[in-house]
């Protein structure tokens, strides 16, 4: 049976157990003050911090060198002009609009872009970013509330993570992150069909949910055979989610696969370790880069299989998912700063300690600054970061992700359960067999 540790005492305000000396109110006031309300307020604070980081670009716009020099970039705002989002959802569904995102993400962005269209580019960008910020509050709050229902999870890490505040408005990844997280929680709550639908939708928003689906199936096949009947509704639900997004685009199949086709031909970019050789003028060939990314998926599958087949307590699904997504992320052809948002809810579900979370967040913050300094230096060499220092901070980021993945290993192996509890009973199974004469005095060195 998987280990489900008790929530720490600091989770009382987020719906966790009250403290040792706390007394519940007879009128139930504590239930109104604790739980979903504080989590939504924390989500609002997280998004406000993200908006504060964008204040320079709000005044001058997201064109030119301002986003890199002021470190207020946002793919959301840039797409308003680059992808002509003001034409709306109808133009995207008819194939007249080429949004460089997976289908569901592109559809949502074109919908918001059409609603928030304005006479000037700056006004349209501001309206879209503010609308996405409102959506971010809803999605972050919903994720935190649902994560709070999982034993051993820490919902505060969803809404109070520095990484979330740093990346939530950088890219549209939040949509896929929210769908995948809600799908994973639904699976943990034994709602297989709903989990399949949500994960199917998430796959059409980003590629990483495929990793979650693979890990879920592997856990069932190897460690949890009682849930094998749930695989059918999971698969049917996932197929239904994919079809629901792809069907409106059936007359324009190229629109459905355009984002993945562009990824296949794009080669390496900043954030990927395979891009480091190009900093010194010897880039990795595009076919080799794609092959290395595919090997990253193979490596993730190997590590998950290794953790599942070793002796010991049943692994934690969230911990396995965190390790697998981290491996796929760091071995991909592109790992922009916004991609780290995928690890935030997985760390919360895995119950990673705040200390380890903050170590990773510090590495991500350092890389975020180095990333945009380096990009600025590509245009103005006197005001940027040299390639060598960028490579150093990239290694810092990779080390931080490795630290976070390693922090999830105790929740995978169950070693964080205190000895003597029902989750980890005292046992002599792990002790080596006694050697002949090892208890004698003087010791016996030879057997009979």
Identify the residue with better confidence: 31 or 107. 107
Residue 387 above 60 pLDDT? Answer: yes
Is the residue at 130 inside a domain? yes
Q: How far apart are CA 21 and CA 33, in angstroms?
A: 18
Mean pLDDT score of the chain = 84
In the predicted model, is pLDDT for residue 340 greater than 80? yes
What's the rounded Cα separation, in Å, for the pair 192 and 430?
36
Tell me what pLDDT residue 70 has.
84
User: Does residue 133 belong to any structural domain of this protein?
Assistant: yes
Q: Is residue 101 assigned to a domain? A: yes
Span 269-321, pLDDT tens digits: 899 999 999 888 787 888 898 899 999 999 999 999 999 988 777 678 999 99
Q: What total of structural domains would you count in the chain? A: 1
C-alpha distances out from residue 358 to 131, 347, 403, Å = 29, 11, 11
Q: Which residues of 123-139 are buried (b: 16+ CB within 10 A; e: fewer)?
A: ebbbbbbebbbebbbeb
Question: What pLDDT digit, counting tens, does each position of 174-227 carry?
Answer: 999 999 999 999 999 999 999 999 999 999 999 999 999 999 999 999 988 999
Q: Which of 21-35, 245-259, 278-292, 384-398 has the lowest mean pLDDT?
A: 21-35
Contact of 355 with 291, CB cutoff 8 Å:
no
The reported pTM is 0.85
| 422 within a domain of the structure (yes/no) | no
For residue 439, is it within any domain?
no
What's the domain range around 89? Answer: 9-17+31-413
Asked whether residue 132 is assigned to any structural domain, the reply reads yes
Percent residues over pLDDT 70 in the chain: 83
C-alpha distances (whole Å) from 47 to each of 42, 132, 180, 347, 435 are: 9, 10, 20, 19, 62
| Phi then psi dihedrals of residue 32, to 5 deg | -80, -35
* Domain membership flag for residue 24: no
């Amino acid at each position: 049976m998987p280990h489900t540790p008790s929530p720490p005492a600091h989770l009382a305000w987020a719906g966790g157990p009250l403290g040792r000396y706390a007394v519940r109110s007879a009128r139930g006031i504590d239930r109104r003050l604790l739980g979903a309300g504080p989590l939504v307020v924390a989500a609002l604070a997280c998004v406000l911090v993200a908006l504060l980081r964008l204040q320079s670009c709000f005044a001058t716009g997201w064109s030119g060198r301002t986003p890199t020099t002021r470190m207020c970039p946002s793919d959301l705002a840039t797409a308003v002009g680059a992808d002509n989002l003001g034409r709306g959802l109808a133009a995207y569904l008819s194939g007249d609009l080429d949004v460089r995102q997976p289908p569901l993400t592109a559809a949502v962005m074109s919908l918001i872009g059409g609603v928030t269209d304005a006479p000037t580019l700056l006004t349209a960008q501001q309206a879209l970013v503010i609308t996405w910020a409102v959506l971010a509050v809803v999605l972050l709050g919903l994720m935190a509330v649902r994560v709070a229902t999982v034993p051993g999870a820490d919902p505060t890490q969803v809404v109070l993570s520095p990484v979330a505040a740093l990346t939530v408005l950088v890219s549209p990844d939040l949509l896929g992150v929210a769908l995948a997280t809600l799908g994973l929680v639904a699976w943990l709550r034994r709602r297989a069909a709903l989990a399949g639908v949500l994960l199917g939708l998430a796959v059409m928003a980003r590629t990483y949910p495929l990793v979650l689906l693979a890990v879920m199936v592997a856990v069932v096949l190897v460690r949890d055979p009682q849930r094998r009947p749930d695989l059918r509704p999971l698969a049917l639900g996932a197929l239904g989610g994919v079809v629901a997004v792809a069907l409106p685009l059936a007359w324009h199949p190229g629109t459905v696969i355009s984002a993945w086709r562009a990824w296949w031909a794009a080669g390496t970019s900043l954030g990927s370790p395979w891009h480091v050789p190009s900093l010194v003028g010897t880039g990795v060939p595009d076919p080799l880069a794609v092959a290395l990314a595919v090997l990253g998926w193979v490596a993730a599958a190997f590590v998950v299989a290794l953790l599942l087949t070793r002796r010991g307590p049943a692994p934690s699904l969230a911990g396995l998912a965190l390790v697998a997504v981290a491996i796929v992320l760091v071995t991909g052809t592109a790992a922009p700063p916004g991609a780290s948002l995928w690890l935030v809810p997985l760390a919360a579900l895995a119950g990673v300690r705040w200390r380890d979370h903050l170590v990773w967040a510090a590495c991500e913050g350092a890389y975020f600054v180095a990333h945009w300094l380096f990009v600025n230096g590509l245009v103005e060499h006197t005001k940027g970061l040299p390639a060598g220092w960028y490579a150093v901070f990239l290694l810092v980021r990779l080390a931080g992700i490795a630290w976070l993945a390693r922090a999830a290993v105790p929740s995978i192996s169950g070693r964080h359960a205190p000895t003597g509890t029902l989750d980890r009973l005292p046992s002599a199974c792990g002790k080596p067999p006694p050697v002949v004469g090892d208890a004698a005095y003087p010791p016996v060195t030879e057997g009979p």
